[in-house]
Amino acid sequence: MVLDDQDAGKIAEAVIAGCPDAIVDAPDIEALMNRLDAFFKVVRAYANGTGAAPDDVNAAAFDDYDIIIVDNNLSGATSTGPRLTAEGVAGNLRAFFETPYVISLNKNPSVDFDLRHQIGDHETKADLALNEPHLRNKRLWHVGEQPSDDNSADPFAPWYWPALRDVADRRRAQIAFVDAKMDDPILTALKFPASALDLIPGRAIAYLSPQEERDGNPTFWQHFKTSNRSLIADDRARIVFPDKDEAEIKTLFKDLEQSPTEPSIRRIISRVVAAEIDHWIRRDILGLQDVLMDAPHLQMRVGFRSAANEPSLEELDATAQNPNEPFGLEAEFYNAVASQHRFESDCWLPRDGAFWWSEIENDKAYSEMVSRPRSVGAVFCEDVRAFKNVQDSPDIGKFVPEGGKPWLPRFVSQLTGFNYSPRSLLFG
């Protein structure tokens, strides 16, 4: 579904260009205003403590989709009040409706590649921040889609983009995961190994709960209680206690140690928490490619293959193209080492296959392999999802994302016509 007050049809055309078999609902301005009116009635109903919309509201107005794309400027869809933006509706769309994935569009039109956070816009309440031209890129929609000679697939395709065809199913699995484990500690539920716990950035723990110590391990429920990322604290409390007086609601919410049992309330909590933990993993855990890393970054770290000769670029690129085991990694290394230390819950990843580096580097089987030949002449370029020889590509730039290690730079090929932001992070 596309929400835009000026040219929803143009955005729908962009979606079809990137994903020809997509079914797109792009309501005109009158239908959009009616949908938004229903939306605000539902939100007000929860805010007023009734927990249900008036009888004349179609509460399912946003329920029957996999993805909702919201243009950042919706000022023409409201006649009164402040200018409406994607950020003003994304958190509530997620909380109170069943569509699992929300995209904010055109908030940062001057940003094509997010060097700082590799999210698109780390402050967005949506799941992903994109610009309209990105939607036309087939590589945004399909795992393993490669650029072609006829330009039907764009070479530019940030590695941090998830495959949009998969995001709804992954999010639904995340929601079920949270619902089943709401009172479990997050790091325990996600099976973080002991070797990784001391290496997690302090900001990552603070994101889970600002009240936690450096070695904290809050539950999913505690995260919901203490975060205000996509919903403010008062709204979270009102969701849990819709029938209580304003004077007592904050105390009740603070003192509630176990998660609610009411299914409809748990459903809202699970949707909110799933989106926020997904954001956390993409930015603070997998996004740093340090404690947890995916196949191409693992390949760049370990470097070697069992073959005597350095692998070709095509062999290396398989780590970014193969969605199935062994994910393009050398079979002997994968079977003996990497597969033993694989992140177990793929639904939390943009694509299947991530590995605990802290476990791999301490694995005896790995230590017996490190004397083998290493590939040091090629680096993985995040903006084109491909390895390039450094000597043959003088335009390759280095960057370190916020929270990353200076001695573990990342690389981009710096394609002409695309904005890499902030450029001050590029060096080398």
At residue 372, what is the residue type? R
Residue 84 vs residue 411, higher pLDDT: 411
Predicted pLDDT of residue 86: 87
Of 65-79, 157-171, 265-279, 398-412, least confident by mean pLDDT is: 65-79
- In three-state secondary structure terms, 221 is helix
Whole-number pLDDT of residue 303 = 81
Q: How far apart are CA 90 and CA 92, in angstroms?
A: 6
Instruction: Give the pLDDT score at 76.
Output: 78
Q: Alpha-carbon distance 355 to 21, whole Å?
A: 33
Distance (Å, rounded) from C-alpha 115 to C-alpha 425? 7
In DSSP notation, 136-189 reads G-HHHHSTT----TTSSS-S---TTS--HHHHHHHHHHHHHHHHHTTTSBHHHH
Residue 267's pLDDT band (cuts 50, 70, 90): very high
> For the residues 357-386, what does the mean pLDDT come to?
85
Among 15-19, 46-50, 368-372, top mean pLDDT goes to 15-19
pLDDT band at 79; cut points 50, 70, 90:
low
Confidence of residue 55 (pLDDT cuts 50, 70, 90): low
pLDDT surpasses 70 at 329: yes
CB-based contact 219:186 (threshold 8 Å): yes
Does 213 have pLDDT greater than 70?
yes
Structure tokens at 223: 């995260």
Would you say residue 340 has pLDDT above 70? yes
User: What was the pLDDT predicted at 75?
Assistant: 79
Q: What is the pTM of this model?
A: 0.93
pLDDT at position 367 over 90: no
Give the whole-number percent of the chain exceeding pLDDT 90. 67
Quote the tokens at residue 347: 């639904």
